[in-house]
Amino acid sequence: MISYGRQFVDQTDIDAVVEALKGDWLTQGPKVEEFEIALKDKFGANHCCVVANGTAALHLTGLALGWRPGDIVITSPITFLSTANSIIYSGAIPDFVDIDSTTYTIDPNKLEEKIKTYNAQSKNVKAVIGVDYAGHPCDWEALKTIGEKYELQLINDNCHALGARFLGDTQYAAKYADAVTQSYHPVKHITTGEGGSILTNNGKIDQKVRLLRSHGITKDLKDMGGRNGSWYYEMHEVGFNYRISDFQCVLGTSQLKKLDNFVEKRREIAQSYDAAFGMDERFIIPPVSEKVDHAYHLYPLQLKFDKVGVNKNDFFESMKSVGINLQVHYIPVHLQPYYMKRFGFKPGDFPIAEEFYANEISIPIFPQLKSSEIEFVIAQIYDNLN
Ligand SMILES: *Cc1c(COP(=O)(O)O)cnc(C)c1O
């Protein structure tokens, strides 16, 4: 079965993890900080705190930014559930702004309209989580301008876009957003099994997420009333166990060295798909804004199912029967029963996202995909259209 995504773990990764397993520290050892330093260097952030997964990174970010019950936080409906769920964790209220049909990321013009609508009702928007969907960065220039104008916090859910460039810069994320979250789940660009991080240039945010990562415990003398002995620690607020282990971090450090090659490989595959589908008007290949270089975590192909002789479900099943496991990214979050029931969203609220969902299929893209497999995927998509 060829799946839409797959990790690449080689012998150097395995050797590094085995070495770590033989060491003194399985968790809370020196490999955690080594991975943090490697991430800071790679993504150009002053601070990095690695955590158990990308969802934990989003959760702690919201808490560190001081989200309170009733605060309004906006994101894109075309994202994984945990982006929006992380808003609910802190008691804040999630809202959405439709995507731009030429980037598949949050539409800055519609965002500004929504903020103005809230302001007209004497309500303020606390924060915006931009999602660099599929590996295509949001228009961070526009988001930054809006963020400054309306005094919003900006978060980059960067899980898809490791290695992408905005205005030529691979280190864009922490420059524009107050906090950046990543995930190292096996389908993402690099993996630690489960894992994630918060990258930021803001020392206060970093300090807060570090504290909350491990139960809210501090041993730092300047944060405590005094010290009664070397065993002593204090807790000033309730935190979690969102730590990641040393052997996972070793895997992450080893994987990070391969990121540039991984992204290069993904871009080559995307080029083959662009060539195969770009000239046929039944398809829309993923557009790329001139401001960005795409990192292709996904290859979201739109197929105009109303113009072909097959519906999406049948197409999925026939592709599966020849060994190709497609996916869809994503069911718009506002259409989930929980979101409709609790927050009153309904079909039609975000029409561009909904139409995108109707058309979108994620076709296989991962570094180890062979050229024969790429040809097979292309041939099967055409064969199964009618
Ligand atoms: C994967 C992902 C997450 C969550 O990361 P986990 O490590 O699976 O918790 C959040 N947002 C986006 C956009 C993702 O792709």
pLDDT tens digit string along 249-267? 999 999 999 999 999 999 9
pLDDT at 226 over 90: no
Cα atoms in the 13 Å half-sphere on the side-chain side of 234:
11
Give the C-alpha distances (Å, rounded to integers) separating 51 from 35, 60, 67, 185, 196: 11, 9, 20, 12, 5
Query: What are the tens digits of pLDDT across the range 34-71?
Result: 999 999 999 999 999 999 999 999 999 999 999 999 99
The CA-based diameter of the chain, rounded to the nearest angstrom, is 76
Pick from 324, 319, 384, 329: nearest CA to 356: 329
pLDDT value of position 299: 98
Average pLDDT over residues 161-178: 98
CB 194 within 8 A of CB 54: no
Could you tell me the distance, in angstroms and rounded to a whole number, from the CA of residue 247 to the centre of ligand 1?
21
pLDDT value of position 283: 98
pLDDT at 298 over 80: yes
Strand partners, 51: 196
Pick from 31, 10, 8: nearest CA to 253: 31
pLDDT at 318 over 80: yes
Separation CA 327–CA 325 (nearest Å): 7
pLDDT value of position 222: 83
Angle, helix 259-277 to helix 371-383, in steps of 10 degrees: 30
CB 141 within 8 A of CB 168: no
Radius of gyration of the chain (CA): 22
In this structure, the strands spanning 283-284 and 300-303 are antiparallel
Say if ligand 1 is within 6 A of residue 82 CB: yes
Separation CA 194–CA 201 (nearest Å): 24
CB 153 within 8 A of CB 65: yes
Pick from 156, 143, 195, 178: nearest CA to 7: 195
Separation CA 12–CA 113 (nearest Å): 50
pTM: 0.97
Cα atoms in the 13 Å half-sphere on the side-chain side of 71:
21
Could you tell me the distance, in angstroms and rounded to a whole number, from the CA of residue 55 to the centre of ligand 1?
6
| Band (220; pLDDT cuts 50, 70, 90) | confident
The backbone torsions φ and ψ at residue 326, rounded to the nearest 5 degrees and listed phi first, read: -80, 170
Separation CA 37–CA 57 (nearest Å): 17
pLDDT value of position 47: 98
- The residues, ordered by sequence, that sit 6+ positions from 231 with a Cβ below 8 Å of its Cβ are none
State the DSSP H helix or E strand holding residue 204, giving kind and residue range, or none if neither: helix 203-213
Separation CA 262–CA 268 (nearest Å): 10
Task: Report the amino acid identity of residue 29.
Answer: G
* Residue 160 tokens, joined: 């898809």
CB 271 within 8 A of CB 285: no
Give 265-316 as a 3 state SS string: HHHHHHHHHHHHHCCCCCEECCCCCCCEECCCCCCEEEECHHHCCCCHHHHH
The position carrying tokens 């013009």 is: 109
Average pLDDT over residues 164-191: 98
The position carrying tokens 């409906």 is: 77
CB 41 within 8 A of CB 170: no
Closest Cα to atom 7 of ligand 1: 54
The position carrying tokens 């029963």 is: 337
Task: Report the amino acid identity of residue 90.
Answer: S
Separation CA 51–CA 49 (nearest Å): 7
pLDDT at 228 over 80: no
pLDDT at 309 over 90: no
Ligand 1 atom at minimal distance to the Cα of residue 55: 9
pLDDT value of position 214: 96
CB 101 within 8 A of CB 352: yes
Say if ligand 1 is within 6 A of residue 159 CB: yes
Separation CA 255–CA 156 (nearest Å): 22
pLDDT value of position 22: 97
Could you tell me the distance, in angstroms and rounded to a whole number, from the CA of residue 183 to the centre of ligand 1?
5
Query: What are the tens digits of pLDDT across the range 179-192?
Result: 999 999 999 999 99
Average pLDDT over residues 96-115: 98
Say if ligand 1 is within 6 A of residue 334 CB: no
Closest Cα to atom 15 of ligand 1: 159
**Percent of the chain's residues with pLDDT above 90:** 96
Rounded to the nearest 10°, the torsion over CA 40, 211, 61, 343 is: 160
Query: What are the tens digits of pLDDT across the range 118-141?
Result: 999 999 999 999 999 999 999 999
Separation CA 80–CA 332 (nearest Å): 9
Choose one of 82, 181, 327 to mutate for the ligand 1 pocket test, by most ligand atoms within 8 angstroms of C-beta: 82
pLDDT value of position 229: 85
pLDDT value of position 188: 97
Closest Cα to atom 3 of ligand 1: 54
Ligand 1 atom at minimal distance to the Cα of residue 188: 1
pLDDT value of position 221: 82
State CA 104 to chain mean position distance: 14
**Percent of the chain's residues with pLDDT above 70:** 100
Ligand 1 atom at minimal distance to the Cα of residue 53: 7
